[in-house]
């Protein structure tokens, strides 16, 4: 089965308050009756853990069908099938009180005159992550059909729909990460002998399925308002591997245990807020002989405390983990799982007693008969708690009996354990050495070919077969494969981002610990097709094939690919110059942004896939210069503003189960809102967003500005991955400076809306904070701004270039001190902290642009991003070194913005009205900065309005060249864009200029403020040349 082309979105692009809804909702929210099976939902307040619900409805389609429109949404996510064909997935992320629905044109997928079926797979995690705030399970769908005779037919979710928990999805899997949901395990032997989507076909027998339970009509809590999707559907672009890097046989670790400690140690918590806890995890290890066991912790809570005991005696630790000395018989093993502040409470351990570990040790629950072999003690107030000490010092089960009354001992429930841990099985596997005859494969390159060729993999003599596959570039999307396999064959897939060269000419895989970027598929007999339901970021893929014991029949793979799933940008922006490396950098950063554009901007496609608001401010500027995609930015800023319903400042990442304020990110959001209007002239957006902006800025004034004028807040106060002094409590200098700029931009927005009193209020607050910065945060001895004042009044001894940069960029420094601070941006004093991430460098480059130091911008781009190109990166790194956590991070894509905005020279100037027709006219500067380049050309995307779609030119097209004593620039403008062309400062006042127009009008060139300036009319096209 091939992925269906996603149906055209028919919903209007509107955001809040249900604007644009065109048909009455007759559908009911439905779910499954929890009384008929453990954990189905109703008995768990609609929040079953890691739950997969199948819902289906069959119906007749008239022979004279004319249109069929489906509106659908679910909490948390859905996958839509029509007559067994996978059509799409959604909804886009949002807050439940303004929940999004999708609209599909199903006319091409229905069979007139026949029985048809809609099938929906609903995924409900039962707990939050960084993309999903807590709701409850539910499905809402309504198909409205019209016939050629005008008859209307509606099929809507109600109690007549059939529902059943999907039998093939394993609910006992670990989380991918604290930012994402659960790992995907699919058992094809349990899909009732049919394909992964056959249950959604019209002829499927659902007589044994339950009838759905109606939760209520549209408008019930928590989905008070339904809002039509306000962005297009994402891409589904097939991408195939380019090479097979390695084939070998491996043996995985024998014993892996993975348990979720949160239900026991933080009972009742389903949110993503970090917690500290004090507790213990314990088990009985029964050894057949005295032996030494090595235990390695994988991801999650890990061995952060580095404390464990065996029979009351301390275990030892080394770089690999814990070393447990076991006596013959039962051994009480206790791990201290205390952590001060953490999000991920999975505790995963890998046990190694040498050869045949499984024959040497076994596990028993220390509390007696139970579903699992693990128990917990706690939570406790501290390690000094009497109950903690009683368990910690216990030498036997008998000692535990005495501690039961004071130690809160309880077994770990089966549903809070993982049936397996694929990441640990793969990354800790050991090669058997059978890289030749022991690993038999045929036509392996067929995996990389989009045709009907097949690759054949035979069962090895021992162990499993591992393929290391390179897709050639970073990707994000859904894994898809078609294969023929013996029943019970296990396919474990693991995606990762980077390999690094080693001194011996080989390579080393960089694993991202804490990211279970994996899936498991258990094959049924014969040919089968599967498309994953979890989107993943990766470049490299390890495919491990585990044949059933004694199996002789090989597995054949016809297709293995990724369906690239990103925002559907068109490549409207372009930049090319005579420096090949700058061209490669620009393209690398553009592609980075694409992979970090989903239904919102996200930080990275692999580790988090999270809409971090501060990251997104820079990402939006990059997007404006490369793709346009202005509607995605609009959605993001409104979505962020909605977080003010529960927090005084816009939250750091939204919509999320982690309610968190990262102060600089909340202030960057204000900058971003003003910049969006500056680029688009979207007055409707300005009216929508301004109440949120004003609310935040007044909250700050009322709650967090001290009498002395300084801004002080307890929050996450970072700016950069660098050793700045930015404590959670205290007065942090860089964000005081950013607040000055945020108030000024809020004042600008107020003036645009005619709110002059608001503007005065915000300007006054900006001046108050600026004065306080210069009075209290300047260090006379060092002649620089300190990083902070601690909550206890101590003045920071740390000075960073980041702090000086932000104060300078935001014009929060006095005229007397400005040249002093400016000097630090170019000549770092000894002992000052320097930048640790490309994200923070963005602000330094903005400061250089403000100063007109464009050659320095090019030099930094060539040095820092050029190193990524030299290393072979296909996307920009999160940090400035190759051993970074995320190898694709759009906060690092700055060069595209600076090259297009300054070297090519295009940036917005303002918005006016054409007095003749009343239509919008955008104004831009075209002011190239050649630096050491000889030529450049490119396109700059401008917003496209409803009246602009049919016009020929939708971008500002620029080409410039410089020669010996001459400079020429060619330009072409859209019909709704006019420009001020500013020749670079290499053109002297004595130059002679000529203007040649193909169309439009131009003013006579004038030399003003050290530059030649020419104004050209909307839609103008031509050439301006200067000689001297």
If you ran DSSP here, which 8-state letter would residue 608 be given?
Answer: T
Higher pLDDT, 230 or 192: 230
Q: How far apart are CA 993 and CA 139, in angstroms?
A: 66
Residue 917 above 80 pLDDT?
no
pLDDT in tens, 59-98: 999 999 999 999 999 999 999 999 999 999 999 999 999 9
Q: How many CA atoms lie within 13 A of 301 on its CB side?
A: 30
Residue 7 above 80 pLDDT?
no
User: Residue 919 has what pLDDT?
Assistant: 65
Percent of the chain scored above 90 by pLDDT? 90
User: Residue 222 has what pLDDT?
Assistant: 97
The first and second tokens of residue 728, run together, are 């959670």
Q: How far apart are CA 890 and CA 626, in angstroms?
A: 13
Higher pLDDT, 16 or 812: 812
Q: What angle do CA 417, 421, 424 make, to 5 degrees?
A: 140
User: Residue 317 has what pLDDT?
Assistant: 96
Q: How far apart are CA 261 and CA 343, in angstroms?
A: 11
Q: How far apart are CA 136 and CA 128, in angstroms?
A: 11
At 434, the pLDDT band (50, 70, 90 cuts) reads low
Residue 372, helix vs strand vs coil: coil
At 921, the pLDDT band (50, 70, 90 cuts) reads confident
At 302, the pLDDT band (50, 70, 90 cuts) reads confident
Closest Cα to residue 379, out of 277, 273, 271?
Answer: 277
Q: Which of 159-163, 358-362, 494-498, 537-541 has the lowest mean pLDDT?
A: 358-362
- Residue 571, number of CB atoms within 10 A of its CB: 13
pLDDT in tens, 168-182: 999 999 999 999 999
The first and second tokens of residue 190, run together, are 């349990």
Residue 190 above 90 pLDDT?
yes
Average pLDDT score over the chain? 94
Element (H, E) at 820: helix 818-826
Q: How far apart are CA 844 and CA 830, in angstroms?
A: 18
- Residue 333, number of CB atoms within 10 A of its CB: 23
Residue 35 above 50 pLDDT?
no
The DSSP secondary structure of 1000-1020, one letter per residue, reads: S-BPPPEEETTEEEEEE-TT-
Element (H, E) at 701: helix 683-703
Report the DSSP pairing between strands 77-82 and 243-251.
unpaired
Chain CA centroid to CA 744, Å: 30
**609 backbone φψ class: left, alpha, beta (φ>0; ψ -120 to 50):** left
Calculate the alpha carbon distances from 244 to 427, 458, 543, 547, 975 in Å: 18, 17, 11, 20, 50
Strands (E), 771-903: 778-779, 784-785, 788-790
The DSSP secondary structure of 285-316, one letter per residue, reads: EEESS-EEEEEEE-STTTTTT--EEETTEEPE
Start-to-end CA distance of the chain, whole Å, equals 67
Q: Max Cα separation, the chain?
A: 98
Q: How far apart are CA 92 and CA 602, in angstroms?
A: 13
Torsion of CA 366, 367, 373, 377, to 10 degrees: -90
At 40, the pLDDT band (50, 70, 90 cuts) reads very low
Q: What is the mean pLDDT of residues 513-521?
A: 97
Element (H, E) at 580: helix 580-595
Q: How far apart are CA 214 and CA 200, in angstroms?
A: 21
Contacts of 384 (CB under 8 A, 6+ apart): none
Residue 915 above 90 pLDDT?
no
Could you tell me the domains of the chain?
28-230 (2.60.120.260), 238-249+429-564 (2.60.120.260), 254-419 (2.60.120.260), 910-1027 (2.60.420.10)
Calculate the alpha carbon distances from 844 to 801, 825, 834, 839 in Å: 9, 7, 11, 10
**Cis peptide preceding 76, ω within 30 of 0:** yes
**Cis peptide preceding 541, ω within 30 of 0:** no
Chain CA centroid to CA 458, Å: 38
Strands (E), 106-254: 115-124, 138-147, 152-156, 162-165, 184-187, 210-211, 213-217, 225-228, 237-239, 243-251
Q: How far apart are CA 311 and CA 303, in angstroms?
A: 19
Q: Are 538 and 477 in contact (CB under 8 A)?
A: no
Overall residue count recorded for the chain in this entry: 1028
Calculate the alpha carbon distances from 292 to 263, 337, 450, 749, 916 in Å: 31, 22, 50, 68, 87
Beta bridge partner(s), residue 336: 280
Q: How far apart are CA 769 and CA 843, in angstroms?
A: 20
pTM: 0.95
Q: Are 574 and 939 in contact (CB under 8 A)?
A: yes
At 213, the pLDDT band (50, 70, 90 cuts) reads very high
User: Residue 145 has what pLDDT?
Assistant: 98
């Amino acid at each position: 089965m091939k992925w269906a082309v996603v149906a055209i979105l028919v919903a209007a692009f509107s955001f809040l308050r249900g604007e644009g809804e065109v048909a009455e909702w007759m559908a009911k929210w439905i779910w499954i009756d929890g009384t008929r099976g453990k954990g189905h939902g109703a008995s768990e307040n609609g929040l079953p853990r890691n739950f997969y619900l199948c819902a289906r409805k069959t119906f007749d389609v008239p022979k004279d069908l004319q249109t069929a429109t489906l509106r659908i949404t679910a909490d948390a996510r859905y996958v839509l099938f029509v007559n067994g064909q996978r059509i799409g997935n959604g909804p886009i992320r949002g807050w439940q009180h303004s929940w999004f629905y999708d609209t599909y044109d199903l006319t091409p997928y229905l069979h007139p005159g026949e029985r048809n079926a809609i099938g929906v797979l609903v995924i409900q995690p039962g707990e939050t992550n960084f993309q999903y705030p807590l709701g409850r399970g539910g499905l809402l769908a309504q198909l409205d059909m019209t016939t050629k005779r005008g008859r209307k037919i509606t099929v809507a979710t109600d109690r007549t729909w059939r529902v059943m928990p999907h039998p093939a999805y394993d609910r006992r899997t670990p989380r991918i990460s604290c930012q994402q949901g659960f790992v995907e395990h699919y058992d094809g032997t349990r899909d009732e002998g049919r394909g992964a989507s056959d249950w959604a076909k019209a002829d499927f027998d659902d007589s044994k399925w339950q009838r759905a339970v109606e939760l209520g009509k549209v408008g019930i809590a928590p989905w008070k308002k339904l809002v039509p999707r306000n962005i297009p559907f994402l891409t589904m672009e097939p991408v195939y591997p380019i090479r097979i890097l390695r084939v070998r046989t491996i043996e995985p670790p024998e014993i892996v245990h993975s348990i979720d400690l949160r239900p026991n140690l933080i009972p009742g918590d389903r949110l993503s807020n970090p917690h500290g806890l004090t507790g213990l995890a314990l088990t009985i290890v029964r050894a057949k002989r005295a032996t030494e066991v090595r235990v390695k912790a994988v991801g999650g809570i890990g061995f952060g405390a580095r404390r464990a005991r065996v029979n009351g005696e301390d275990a030892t630790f080394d770089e690999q983990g814990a070393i447990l000395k076991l006596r013959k018989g039962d051994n009480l093993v206790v791990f201290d799982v205390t952590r001060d502040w953490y999000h991920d409470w999975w505790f995963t351990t890998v046990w190694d007693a040498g050869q045949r570990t499984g024959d040497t040790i076994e596990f028993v629950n220390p509390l007696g008969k139970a579903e699992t072999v693990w128990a917990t003690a706690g939570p406790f107030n501290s390690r000094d708690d009497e109950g903690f000490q009683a368990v910690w010092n216990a030498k036997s089960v008998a000692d535990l009996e005495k501690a039961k009354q004071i130690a809160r001992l309880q077994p770990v429930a089966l549903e809070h354990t993982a049936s397996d841990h694929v990441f640990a099985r793969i990354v800790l596997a050991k090669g058997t050495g059978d890289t030749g005859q022991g690993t038999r494969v045929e036509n392996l390159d067929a995996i990389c070919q989009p045709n009907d060729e097949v690759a054949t993999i035979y069962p090895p003599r021992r162990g499993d077969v591992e393929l290391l596959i390179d897709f050639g570039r970073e990707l994000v999307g859904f894994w898809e494969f078609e294969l023929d396999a013996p029943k019970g064959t296990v396919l474990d897939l693991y995606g990762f981002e980077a390999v690094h060269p080693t001194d011996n000419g080989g390579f080393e895989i960089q694993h991202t610990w804490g990211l279970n970027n994996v899936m498991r598929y258990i094959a049924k007999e014969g040919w089968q097709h599967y498309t994953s339901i979890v989107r993943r970021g990766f470049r490299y893929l390890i495919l491990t094939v585990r044949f059933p014991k004694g199996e002789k029949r090989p597995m054949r793979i016809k297709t293995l690919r990724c369906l690239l799933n990103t925002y559907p940008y068109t490549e409207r922006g372009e930049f090319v110059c005579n420096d090949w490396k700058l061209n490669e950098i620009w393209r690398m950063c553009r592609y980075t942004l694409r992979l970090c554009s989903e239904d919102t901007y996200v930080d990275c496609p692999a580790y988090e896939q999270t809409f971090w608001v501060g990251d997104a401010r820079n990402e939006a500027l990059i997007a404006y210069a490369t793709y346009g995609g202005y509607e995605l930015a609009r959605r993001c800023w409104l979505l962020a503003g909605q977080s003010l319903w529960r927090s005084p400042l816009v939250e750091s990442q939204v919509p999320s189960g982690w309610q968190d304020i990262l102060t600089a990110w909340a202030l960057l959001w204000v900058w971003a809102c003003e910049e969006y209007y500056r680029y688009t002239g979207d007055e409707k957006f300005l009216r929508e967003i301004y109440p949120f902006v004003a609310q935040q800025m007044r909250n700050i004034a009322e709650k967090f500005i001290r009498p002395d004028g300084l801004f002080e807040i307890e929050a996450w106060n970072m700016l950069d991955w660098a050793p700045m002094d930015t404590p959670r409590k205290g007065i942090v200098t860089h964000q005081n400076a950013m607040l000055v700029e945020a108030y000024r931009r809020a004042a600008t927005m107020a003036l645009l809306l005619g709110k002059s009193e608001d503007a005065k209020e915000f300007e006054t607050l900006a001046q108050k904070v600026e004065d306080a910065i210069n009075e209290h945060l300047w260090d006379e001895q060092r002649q620089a701004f300190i990083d902070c004042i601690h909550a206890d009044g101590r003045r920071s001894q740390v000075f960073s270039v980041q702090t000086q940069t932000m104060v300078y960029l935001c014009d929060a420094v006095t005229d007397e001190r400005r040249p002093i601070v400016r000097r630090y941006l170019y000549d770092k004093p000894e002992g000052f902290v320097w930048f640790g991430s490309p994200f923070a460098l963005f602000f330094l480059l903005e400061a250089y642009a403000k100063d007109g130091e464009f050659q320095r911008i090019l030099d930094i781009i060539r040095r820092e991003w050029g190193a990524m190109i030299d290393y072979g990166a296909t996307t920009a790194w999160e940090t400035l070194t190759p051993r970074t956590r995320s190898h694709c991070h759009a906060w690092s894509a700055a060069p595209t913005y600076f090259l297009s905005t300054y070297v090519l020279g295009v940036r917005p100037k303002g918005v006016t009205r054409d007095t003749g027709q009343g239509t919008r006219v955008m104004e831009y500067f075209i002011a190239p900065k050649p630096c050491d380049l000889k030529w450049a050309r490119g396109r700059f995307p401008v917003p496209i309005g409803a009246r602009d779609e049919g016009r020929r030119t939708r971008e500002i097209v620029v080409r410039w060249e410089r020669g010996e004593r001459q400079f020429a620039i060619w330009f072409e403008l859209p019909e709704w864009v006019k420009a001020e062309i500013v020749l670079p400062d290499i053109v002297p006042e004595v130059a002679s200029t000529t203007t040649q127009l193909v169309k439009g009008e131009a003013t006579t060139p004038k030399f003003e403020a050290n530059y030649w300036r020419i104004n050209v009319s909307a839609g103008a096209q031509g050439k301006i040349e200067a000689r001297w």
